[in-house]
Every structure is written in structure tokens, then in C-alpha cells.
Amino acid sequence: MTYINKNGFALLTSLLTLALGATGCAQGGPAGGNGNAADPGKNEPAAMSTEPVTLTVFNTSMGDELFKTAFEEPIKKKYPFITIQVIKRAKGSMIEDLVAAGNVPDILFLDSGADIITYKDLDVPYDMTPLAKKYNFDLSRIDPAVLDDMKTYAGAGNEGKLLALPRSINVEALFYNKDIFDKFGVPYPKDGMTWDDAVELAKKVTKLVDGVQYRGIGINDNILIPYNQLSLPLLDANDNAAVNTEQWKNWFGTMKRIYEMDGGKLASQDYGKAAQFYLKDKTLAMFASTTIFGSLPEAVKGGLNWDVVTVPTFKEAPGRTIQMFAPGMAISKTSKYKEQAFQAIAHILSDEVQTAEIKQGRMTVLKNQEIKKEYGKENPILEGKNREALIKNQLAPTRKPVSKYESVAAAVMQAKFKDVVVNDKDVNTALREAQEEINQQIAKLKVK
């Protein structure tokens, strides 16, 4: 699943959101045609009608070709009687528009936690728990870290409900330009570096040569702030800002060092262009980002000589990548074909489909280690690369609590971090202002 962020590069979607069903719905074999059926004569999965049906799917942002290969074609192959009809999220067809028109699609894609919160506010998602039981869908196949994230985003009052299921996981890694390191005779980055290690390495390749400013490292703060590796919350349980803390001061203080080295400071107009500097201009030595496979082929044609290592970590949280955020799938309450929709979703989570996906470099939500070993094996862009770097680190625990106002808080924090980097604002001042501005903005939203 690829999305375009403010930097103009492809990254995988944001936060999976799901309400986890009770453990009782995790009995028996998984639905979706894995070949792992329940024991004969015991909890035998129910049969599904094979009458031709058309399932409408709310596609929030998946590209047309990817939607076809990763979703539509696997379902059509497994269930020839199901036809998929797409409704894209766009002006005039936002979920609010569809609800108002009484035209809510059968299957709803999710990009992030904000989506499931929006769906819940509109009373859209169907609790899939009865269907999970009926078809013996085995929740225990899903990575426990993913399930924990799902519980967090379920929210109060939705305990024991299965409001959505994941499709894949976003991962963060450190992509680097081998030619820049070769140019300056500096050893390549290694797996397992801390942010301190990365900054020291970046200093060695941050140089002005023949009028070209090479910079050592860039980040995507729109991911590294809200889904930070330290699992720091943005808001407390009462939707009050929780950012003016020693922990956030540590995060800001560590990450601002990237821009403090000689030649590392950015002008305001260049802030947020790390993807361009890495992929197109080829003046950025290291880029901490979610997977950018959608952009790499064109960059390689343009001369990018790249490889990848694990994303740098904080000393306080060794071996952690970002918190989980992933695309998800839900069923609408108004769907006339809930059983067919559930079986379609379950098939996307089958070993068969998840293996095909992970071979292309899209991380599985399943805990099956044999499937994980297949990572990137059929994606030509990953041939000869350090593929394991993308799956070595563990997901950081999901921050608690989460809130419908997360995006408000994250936007303020990103603006304040930019102020620290570009305008040399004091970290303590920036976080104090962030605390105040977040509370002010949320207060205004609550009275609307």
C-alpha cells in the first residue's frame, strides 16, 4: 500500500486501527483458504453462498495497479463469484458523503487510526466477531504486537469487538547512497546503529564540494514524531496535551542534532525535502524513511546506488523501529453481503496471499516466521540488498492512550520541530508552546 506524504515520496499508510475480538473467536482454522481448516467434525467452518455478488470497496488511497494485484485479483481467483467495484476516496466521495447519501461501501479500507475513529463516530463499522466465530477465523495467526495495537485503537466501549482487520505493516529503515560514502572514503552504515552513531557518521559525509552541499542524514518527521520509537504519547486520556515532558525534550534534543552539524542546517524552503534530496538530487547520504520501493526504480534509473540498514534507535529503546501503523479493512453495518465481505478480507490474510505480498516487500501481519523469511524475494529492486534490515527491529509498543485528536497534536509538534531546526528555537520553549497550542486547538474543536 503506498501513499504520498508531504515530502512527495511513497510511504506506507499510517496507523492500523482495529478492535480486537474476544479470545473465543480465535478458535479453529483460519478462514480464507489457507488449508488450515478446523479438525474434521469439530468447529467445521460454515459454508458460504456462491451466488454472484458485487462487493463495493472504499479505497482510501491505494494505487490502481496495486489494488488490482494485491486485493482484487487474489479475491477473484479464490472466489470467482465475487466482483469488486471500487469507490475511491475523493472530493464528493469522502466517507461522510457516502454515509449522508446512504451509499456506504461493503468493505472499507483504513489508512490510519484516524480512519477507524472517524468510522466509529459515523457508526459505520460492523463487529465481525460473529463471522470470525462462524468461519473459524484464527486471530492467533496475527502477530501479537499487531493485536496489541488493535486493542489500543478499539477505544473505550468497544472491548471484545472486531471492527477491522489489518492488511500489512509499515516498517522504517535507513536507506543510504553508497556513492556518497565512496566519494568521501567513509564506511557504509551498519545495522544496529543508535541515533548518536548515525549523527557521528553523518558528520563525515556532510560536505560542500564543487558548489554541491552533501548532507549526512534526513528524516521523515511526519512519521517519526507521531509513531515515535519511544512510544511517547501526544495526548493524555482526557485529550490534554502531553508533550511538555522530559521524554519529548530528549526526543527533540536527539533529533535536532541531525541539523546542527556544519552544512546540515536547512533553509525553511528546503525543510521536508529529504526524499527529493535522496531520490532525485542524490545529495543526501542517509534517509530514515518507511519503505520507498515505489520511488526507487525511477531513482535507480537516475543513478541512485543504494542499500539499506536498520533504522537507528534510541539508547533507551534498543532494537525498536517505529510503532505499528498499517492499512486495514472493515465491513460496513449496512452491507447486504457481510459474509462474502468477511471471506474476502479473510483471504487477503491467508498464508497464500500474505506470502505473495511479503515476497514483493510488503510486510505481513502474520507471526509465521517462515513467511517472514520470504521478505522481498520477488521484488527486483531488493535483489542483492540488505533485505533483512527491513524486518530485524521489533515494533515499538503503541503509545497509550490514542485519541481522535492525534492528528491535531502531531501537526503542532511537527511545526514546532521545524521551528527548532530552521529557526533555532529553544527546545523547552518549543514544547511549552506546543503544549499550549495543542490544548487551544482541541478546545476549539470540542465546542464546534
d(CA 20, CA 162): 5
Q: Based on the fold, state whether residues 160 and 191 are members of the same structural domain.
A: no
Q: Based on the fold, state whether residues 95 and 61 are members of the same structural domain.
A: yes
Q: Based on the fold, state whether residues 204 and 114 are members of the same structural domain.
A: no
**107 three-class SS:** strand
Report if residue 292 sits inside a domain.
yes
Q: Based on the fold, state whether residues 304 and 186 are members of the same structural domain.
A: yes
Q: Give the residue among 105, 160, 103 at the shortest CA–CA distance from 129.
A: 160
Report if residue 380 sits inside a domain.
no
Q: Compute the CA torsion angle 154, 158, 164, 168 (nearest 10 deg).
A: 20
Q: Based on the fold, state whether residues 303 and 218 are members of the same structural domain.
A: yes
Q: Based on the fold, state whether residues 278 and 416 are members of the same structural domain.
A: yes
Q: What is the pTM of this model?
A: 0.83
Report if residue 387 sits inside a domain.
no
Q: Based on the fold, state whether residues 220 and 190 are members of the same structural domain.
A: yes
d(CA 195, CA 357): 31
Report if residue 250 sits inside a domain.
yes
d(CA 170, CA 5): 14
- pLDDT by position in tens, the chain (length 448): 333 343 333 333 333 333 333 333 333 334 544 444 333 334 566 777 889 999 999 999 888 999 999 999 999 999 999 999 999 999 999 999 999 999 999 999 988 766 888 898 899 999 999 999 999 999 999 987 787 776 777 666 676 788 888 888 888 999 999 999 999 999 999 999 999 999 999 999 999 999 999 999 999 999 999 999 999 999 999 999 999 999 999 999 999 999 999 999 999 999 999 999 999 999 999 999 998 888 999 999 999 999 999 999 999 999 999 988 778 899 999 999 999 999 999 999 999 999 999 999 989 999 999 999 999 999 999 999 999 999 899 889 888 888 889 999 999 999 999 999 999 999 999 999 999 999 999 999 998 7
* pLDDT tens profile 180-206: 999 999 999 999 999 999 999 999 999
Report if residue 378 sits inside a domain.
no
Residue 101: CB atoms within 10 A of its CB come to: 10
Report if residue 391 sits inside a domain.
no
Q: Which of 337, 357, 373 finishes a domain?
A: 373
Q: Give the residue among 110, 15, 8, 18 at the shortest CA–CA distance from 62.
A: 110
Q: Give the residue among 325, 345, 343, 336 at the shortest CA–CA distance from 108.
A: 345
Residue 290: give the domain boundaries.
172-323+399-446
Q: Based on the fold, state whether residues 136 and 232 are members of the same structural domain.
A: no
Which position has the grid cell 536498520? 310
Q: Based on the fold, state whether residues 293 and 235 are members of the same structural domain.
A: yes
DSSP class of residue 85 equals E
Q: Based on the fold, state whether residues 186 and 71 are members of the same structural domain.
A: no
Q: Give the CATH number, domain containing residue 16.
A: 3.40.190.10
Could you give the number of structural domains in the chain? 2
Strands 53-59 and 82-88: parallel
